[in-house]
Structure 1
Amino acid sequence: MSNQATVVNLKLVEGYKFEVDFGDFGTITTDEPEPLGSGSGPSPSQLLAAAVANCMAASLMFAVRKYKGDPGQMRAQVTATTDRVDGRLRVTHLDVDLRLGNPAIELPQLDKILAQFEDFCVVTQSVRQGIEVTAKVHDSTGMGVRSSTK
């Protein structure tokens, strides 16, 4: 699976609004927030945050299932922090909160899963080259089962 190319096409609609074409998967509209754009769609920073959280949630689900567990109704929330770096606005931190849909006690090999699932997330590991990403995992009871900063 190495050297795979992903192609996404963008077309300016107006102002800072773009139509993003994912081919067979359809299109979405993105836009910068006010005052630059009109905020009529997710911003590039929101797409980045969503990509990291989605990839991390999928990696956790894969790992749980690999050990014959049921992740239940997975949920994720991601908070992107922006700050000025050398005078320019940058995404400086992504904080991902993953919520498993079942209690930790029902998930076999959870310690092994939590120790390795992040390493398989292509997007997160790529983004971590320049942005700090923290991850917390909670089970369905709300109990924290892992917290990390890499």
Structure 2
Amino acid sequence: MDKIDRLLLKSTQDGIPIVPKPFLEISKEIGIPEDEVITRLESLVKNGVIRRFGASIGHRSIGITANAMCTWNVPDERVEEVGAIMAGFPEVTHCYERPRFPGWKYNLFTMVHAYSREECEKIAREISSATGIKDYGILFSEKEFKKTGVRL
């Protein structure tokens, strides 16, 4: 990475401008042509410096206020199969395998977002039905303290 790449990362780490030509705005800010902004961003993604370049919606601001971490006790030999099914639900934004610990039997975790706690519970029941996993818990978010990406 050179100085321009660092400037580019700093100028995009909090999001790109919500305008018809966001990369043109960025190019004016850091003093390079718009096509170079795009080429450099593509290169940073290709080389793994930027893992993901995407959009994020402030779900609370549009009314999606029920957020639940569903914890699942999945037989180890079924984790891949069950994880793929769970990740296929559109309401699931994150699906992770984690190690079990003494006193904590859950090894698969899904984050579900919905408009109400009841809807989260319904989605968890649907996931349970689709996978055959009956041993699960639901942890609801109470407050969001931080939501930002990695900073340079």
TM-score bracket, shorter-length normalisation: under 0.3
More strand by share: 1
More helix by share: 2
Structure number with greater CO (CA < 8 Å, separation at least 6) is: 2
Q: Which TM-score applies when normalising by structure 1? A: 0.24
Q: Which TM-score applies when normalising by structure 2? A: 0.24
